[in-house]
Amino acid sequence: MTRSNDMEELIETVAEFIVRARRIVVFTGAGASTESGIADFRSRGGIWDKYNPEDFYFQKFLTNEESREKYWQMSTEVYESLKKAKPNPVHLAIAELEKLDKLDCIITQNIDGLHHKAGNSREKIIELHGTALSVSCLSCRRKYDRDEVQQRILNGVKVPRCDDCEGLLKPDTISFGQAMPERETNQAYDRSFGSDLFIVVGSSLVVQPAAYIPLRAKQGGAKLVIINRDPTPHDGYADIVINGSAGEIMTQILGKVRGKMGNS
Ligand code: NAD
């Protein structure tokens, strides 16, 4: 593993990896979106400084009205910042990888829809933890627009229920203790195994099973690059680790790639 003592050299090496690669998978976490103004979970000032993760287990949501109220309070607050957020240089750099025909797919733990807003095509984005932009009834599966449900909460409803069947409404995101979406999870494992370059951007790599996915890429023979502000438990498996602002680093990498591919 090479660490960021000579940033310039590491950026150059990653750009070289990208130019040579044919099937790049980019894996993003909450740190890819902090520069868009959306707090991550674990950093200082992040969501877990304000709320207790223990309150947000799926089982509690199913069984306890007070937990549901807390969930909607937290989720409503987070959605207000998601709605306003715009793609930042991380998302734009990844969108450029698709334009350069280098991107196999993005596997994202994020629920903010910013890869779509940045211009990546829908079929290239695997949302492992779902999306906050829609809501479903847990009983009859009727879908609701998030803005409509958000308005109900802002009008004073504490726990919204389905108009058709009175079932519990919940955003289409995966909570702790809730099953991962099978299709997306299988796709993520397969595409990672088949990739030749796997780039992690802005993830603490501690949430399972998502955190195992980079190791799957490594087993398939891919080079592994980790770009994150803080160290992660998987740094030892990486070919390159760059610690710093994901926006700055991705912008510099793409600048070099453009130069090398003669598109600047
Ligand atoms: P995390 O909060 O556990 O870790 C984020 C990591 O990003 C940290 O290690 C931090 O050092 C790094 N980071 C923060 N800002 C950075 C920046 N500007 N540049 C580089 N690195 C930066 O997040 P996670 O690993 O993605 O997993 C936690 C869960 O959080 C996921 O399940 C995800 O669904 C959820 N989440 C999503 C959003 C979102 O959609 N934007 C926001 C908060 C949490």
Comparing CA positions, the residue from 143, 193, 184 lying closest to residue 163 is 143
Q: Is the peptide bond before 209 cis (omega within 30 degrees of 0)?
A: yes
Residue type, 189: Y
Mean pLDDT of the chain: 94
* pLDDT for the residue numbered 50: 78
Compute CA distances 168 → 52, 53, 131, 171, whole Å: 22, 20, 17, 10
Residue type, 164: D
Lowest mean pLDDT among 156-165, 206-215, 221-230: 206-215
- pLDDT at 1 exceeding the cut of 80: no
SS3 state at 162: coil
SS3 state at 209: coil
φ/ψ region of 68 (left if φ > 0, alpha if ψ in -120 to 50, else beta) reads alpha
First-last CA distance in the chain: 30
Comparing CA positions, the residue from 207, 176, 214, 169 lying closest to residue 192 is 214
What average pLDDT score do residues 78-88 get? 94
Q: Hey, what are 184's tokens? A: 């997306």
CA distance 138 to 24: 35
CA distance 197 to 66: 45
What is the number of other CB atoms lying within 10 angstroms of the CB of residue 66?
11
Q: Is 29 in the pocket of ligand 1 (CB under 6 A)?
A: yes
What average pLDDT score do residues 136-149 get? 97
- Note if the pTM is more than 0.75: yes
Q: Is 111 in the pocket of ligand 1 (CB under 6 A)?
A: yes
Question: pLDDT, tens digit, for every residue of 150-170?
Answer: 999 999 999 999 999 999 999
- pLDDT at 264 exceeding the cut of 70: no
Q: How many angstroms does the Cα of residue 167 sit away from the middle of ligand 1?
A: 31
Comparing CA positions, the residue from 183, 180, 182, 242 lying closest to residue 211 is 180
Cβ-based burial of 84 (10 A; exposed 0-12, middle 13-18, buried ≥19): exposed
User: Could you say which of 91, 115, 129, 234 is catalytic?
Assistant: 129
Q: Is 131 in the pocket of ligand 1 (CB under 6 A)?
A: no
Comparing CA positions, the residue from 116, 38, 29, 117 lying closest to residue 77 is 38
How is the beta sheet containing 130-137 ordered, strand by strand? 143-145, 130-137, 169-173
Q: Is 129 in the active site?
A: yes
Comparing CA positions, the residue from 107, 91, 67 lying closest to residue 189 is 107
What average pLDDT score do residues 93-119 get? 97
What average pLDDT score do residues 20-42 get? 93
Q: Which residues contact 94 (CB under 8 A, 6 or more apart)?
A: 26, 28, 103, 106, 115, 118, 120, 201, 250
Q: Is 250 in the pocket of ligand 1 (CB under 6 A)?
A: no
